[in-house]
Amino acid sequence: MVSLFILMGGFTVLVFGARILVDSSSSLARRLNIPDIVIGLTIVAFGTSSPELLVSLMASAEGNSDLALGNVIGSNIFNILFILGISAILSPLKIKTGTTWIEVPLTFLSAVVVLLLANDIFIDKASASIISRSDGIILLMFFLVFLVYNITVMMNNSNEEKLVIKEEATWKSALFIIGGLILLVAGGRAIVYSSVKMAQMAGLSERVIGLTIVSVGTSLPEAATSIVAALRKNTDIA
């Protein structure tokens, strides 16, 4: 029961810290005259994924690879099936041609790449399947290609909307950025610690906990953003 409360508290702190970090970083970037396109593709985009990133990084650093991988895979399944499904029920989603022919296939391709890299036993006849550092570099290269594609599309989009960002004093933004990072780390550590304890107490593997409870909790920012966007009929964001 204590571990469950720690887990819930960790999720709350993690999401709150991510929000503070995104708002403060966006404010500081605007103060530094950084273009909205850069802010949108970096700070805002990474901000909603920071809970998954922090939890998986900390789990991996502490040797809990099953929890790290389960969180990543579970979050993607939850985002695509549950969040997209709920958003479509609330408001039918109009799919653009670019999404159908480029972005959806890229999503499928990313899953195939991970599948190939994670199957050393069957492909290379290795003694164990490991996503190595070199595999990580390959994944990051694919991500950079996707990022360049997004930048190109947004730069060619003449209807780009200006981001609504509340500007704060530079020192205040910097202070909140530090505070947001501290909350993210604290929340991430609480989630990893409580998840491992819960898995041990329930006799479940860390992978199962990562695929279910942890992945759903770290996906809350995306869920909230998509559901609100669907209710407001902003289907592109959803």
Per-residue confidence (pLDDT) for residue 137, from 0 to 100 = 94
pLDDT band at residue 162, thresholds of 50, 70 and 90? low
Asked if the structure places residue 116 within a domain, the reply is no
Burial of 152 (0-12, 13-18, 19+ CB in 10 A): exposed
Asked if the structure places residue 218 within a domain, the reply is yes
Instruction: State both tokens at 197.
Output: 């304890």
Asked if the structure places residue 215 within a domain, the reply is yes
Asked if the structure places residue 101 within a domain, the reply is no
**Is residue 234 scored above 70 in pLDDT?**
no
| Residue 83 domain boundaries | 2-93+161-231
**Is residue 209 scored above 80 in pLDDT?**
yes
pLDDT tens for 50-81 read 888 888 988 888 888 889 999 999 999 998 89
| Distance between CA atoms of residues 87 and 195, nearest Å | 29
Asked if the structure places residue 134 within a domain, the reply is no
Per-residue confidence (pLDDT) for residue 126, from 0 to 100 = 60
Instruction: State both tokens at 32.
Output: 């530094």
Asked if the structure places residue 237 within a domain, the reply is no
DSSP alpha helix (H) spans, 118-132? 120-123
Asked if the structure places residue 87 within a domain, the reply is yes
Number of structural domains (the chain) is 1
The share of the chain scoring above pLDDT 70, in percent, equals 83
What is the number of alpha carbons within 13 Å of residue 92 lying toward its C-beta? Answer: 1
Per-residue confidence (pLDDT) for residue 40, from 0 to 100 = 64
Instruction: Judge whether 70 and 199 are in contact, CB under 8 Å.
Output: no
Per-residue confidence (pLDDT) for residue 73, from 0 to 100 = 92
